[in-house]
Structure 1
């Protein structure tokens, strides 16, 4: 059977045997100034029950890491020995016993500090930093710096989980925060055309999201994977991934999530040139958005970007892919009139879609004028304008193309 109490404590803390050994060694170092020497093998002996009563220093470190006394962790002291060694007793109790005077406790040295307990205030501090990361991403978008910062914040959330004991609610919130951060790294990699990295981030984000049980972040991760496959030109895989997001229960509870799922589905369907399905998905997206309660709380990653402007922008994407440039242009214009000021990257992307739509209708001069107005700082926008340049050379080689190419090359 082994030490079931210790096994349950590890599960509650989300620690592996290796991570427990590392945490115990760090706790010993804090107490003694020297790193501990607890190995995986030692931990296995604890879990199997072979070691029924670890050394005193190990017991104290285990209590600090897991927030429970040794006996509560399933350890059993040898017969005739107290469950708490003299060096582990509160100092004030030893003082009282030594003098025989209970009042001496008032002047005794303070008891050792209680193990750190992680709370929702710690989670909120992480989430505040995550909100700043989201804001930076919408301004810059797709750069390696954003990707790295998101992964660093995820690691901090997981390290905090191992710092001390916490409630089940806090544990889930920490995993959800870590998953959200890795998901942002995934999106930054996708936006920066680093697709292999984005796929790796998806696997990690999905695993963390499962630990959290958070439907909102699960939706985000699978919806992002659908968008990633769309950028890779893999519509079947993209539709399957987006369907995972659309079938989550949160889309039934909150119409705004359903709306985003439908809008991104329309963008993917554009690659299939299924015009009827595109129109149907966009209709569902708009209808669901009308049903959404604007006063309901939602995560910052959703409220920061998803609104009517984004629906129009995704519609422009869908119509462009489906070979309907006039409708794409109308949707792009509608989107650009509604964008909130902080969505600099989204505005640049939609403007690039507008230029492509105008070029697709043979309006070469207007298309070039639109392209010239775009801030091409973002990697994804540069990729879109590279495609625009190739199409312009094919459609209208000559002085106008030469002028554009000179400007684009110098940018």
Structure 2
């Protein structure tokens, strides 16, 4: 269950839950049960009850639940957004004009996407937060172009934070933005609702990416891709729908080659037109699906040539990736070639893949985490090409970056490289790689 399955009107409880690492309502239920057992209480809750608490429909928990919640969070329930009955408030000495504490305000800012990775400036400043609060109370009046602009800026800032510090740190902000979009779009004026849902489609696709890179279950990734396509359909954005299909193909990795190919082909040949840069990426993904399903080498090369031709049609220069800019605006020739190297490796041509990687993969052309991601594939290609020492050296060089960002994709590919290097496990560099990956898994 994710935050958007019910409107999160009680944002204080949602924010406090996420802050403590309970990212889903199911996680919260398990933590609640553990706390109840430690108190020797028989109190139990369901996801449905958590949903009621987080929607604000349940104002004040019963006595047993209050004890468990206090044990879990260590703060008065009022700071979790619960509203006591008047008589109960009097007995507890809570003044009628109770105001949130400073910690409560910090939680609010964190949930809406501020203070990521020790950044000093919030993603939403006080003016934006006030505007969002007003829109949550009266979306028809206050959900306007200014609010859309605030949320767009916050989403782009969250994407930049993901590049710098990884998906786990960016996730709460992204979910907060999605909750804000989902809540305010319900009652917004039609023209503003359309813009909010268009932005929501971008944000949902980004959430799918974050869940994928964080190593979340496939169901969570699929949920966000489905939400992104639904909102793209509502707004008539066929290109966005196709883009999400391509992202779905990428998210499958090597788990279902036939479906990877079907999704990629749907992105490139469906009833929509992708702009040149994302079309080039989708064609590359189609070629990769063909390689994984055993297509003829000439056919794979033909589709890769089409990808290059599509990229040649891009009239604007590549820009730093942004969630709200033109689709695929950060897709460069270097990225296409790095992904082509992956395709060559899948086609059983690791030596050629190594040549491509070494020609186009450089720290200047890629952000550190992306460089680590593609270098992990280079390590695997080197292992399969019979260069175990160099493969292990490359893998070790990117392990620290991948582990610091907690990039599940890069770390997963490093494990795959380590498996290919198992026959050479007595070599010093290979042995060190295996040991460090074991320590990382144990941590």
Q: Is the 8 A contact 1:131 1:301 kept in 2?
A: no
User: What TM-score do you get using the length of structure 2 for normalisation?
Assistant: 0.61
- Secondary structure of the 1:251 match is coil
Corresponding position: 1:321 with 2:350: no
Tell me if structure 2 keeps the 8 A contact 1:332–1:354: yes
- Report the equivalent of 2:330: 305
338 and 256 in structure 1: CA distance in 2 versus 1, 3 angstrom threshold: farther
Change (3 A) 1:272 1:338: farther
CA–CA distance in structure 2, aligned partners of residues 242 and 190 of structure 1: 18
- State the shift of 1:398 in Å: 4.3
Quickly say closer, same or farther: Cα 1:117–1:134, change in 2 above 3 A. same
Q: Distance in 1 between matches of 2:161 and 2:329?
A: 11
Contact 2:369–2:402 (CA under 8 A) maintained in structure 1: no
3-state DSSP of counterpart to 2:402: coil
The alignment status of 1:217 with 2:243, answered yes or no, reads no
TM-score by length of 1: 0.65
Matched, 1:201 2:224: yes
What does residue 284 of structure 2 align with? 263
**Aligned equivalents of 1:243 and 1:174: distance in 2?**
29
2:194 match: 172
Q: Deviation at 1:322?
A: 1.2
1:162 aligns with 2:191: no
**Equivalence for 1:379:** 408
How many aligned residue pairs are there? 297
Q: Counterpart in 2 of 1:289?
A: 311
Query: Does the aligned pair in 2 maintain the 1:180–1:205 contact within 8 Å?
Result: yes
Q: Tell me the distance in 1 between the aligned counterparts of 2:269 and 2:412.
A: 32
**For residues 1-400 of structure 1, what are the structure 2 equivalents within 5 Å?**
116-141=141-166, 143-167=167-191, 170-194=192-216, 195-229=218-252, 231-248=253-270, 251=273, 254-274=275-295, 275-294=297-316, 299-300=324-325, 302-303=327-328, 305-337=330-362, 340=365, 343-374=367-398, 375-377=401-403, 378-395=407-424, 397-400=426-429
Contact 1:320 1:357 in 2 (8 A): yes
Distance 2:359 2:206 in 1: 27
CA RMSD of aligned residues (A): 3.0
Task: Tell me the distance in 2 between the aligned counterparts of 1:264 and 1:372.
Answer: 28
Cα-to-partner distance string for 1:101-160 (whole Å, 9 max, x where unaligned): xxxxxxxxxxxx99615332322221111111222233344x344344323212211222
* 1:406 paired residue number: 435
Q: Secondary structure at the match of 2:284?
A: helix
Cα distance, 1:405 vs structure 2: 2.4
Could you give the per-residue CA deviations for residues 152-200 of structure 1, whole angstroms, max 9, x where no partner exists? Answer: 2122112222354342xx3222111111111111112222332221112
Partner of 1:8 in structure 2? none
Name stretches of at least 5 consecutive residues in structure 1 with no aligned partner: 1-17, 20-34, 37-112
User: SS of the counterpart of 1:373?
Assistant: helix
Q: Deviations over 1:348-387 (max 9, x none)?
A: 1111111111111111221121112102322221111111
Distance in 2 between residues matched to 1:190 and 1:395, nearest whole Å: 31
User: Is the 2:382–2:388 Cα contact (8 Å) retained in structure 1?
Assistant: yes
Distance in structure 2 (CA, Å) of the matches to 1:140 and 1:265: 30
Q: 1:188 to 1:261 in 2, by over 3 A?
A: same
Contact 2:287 2:300 (8 Å CA) reproduced: yes
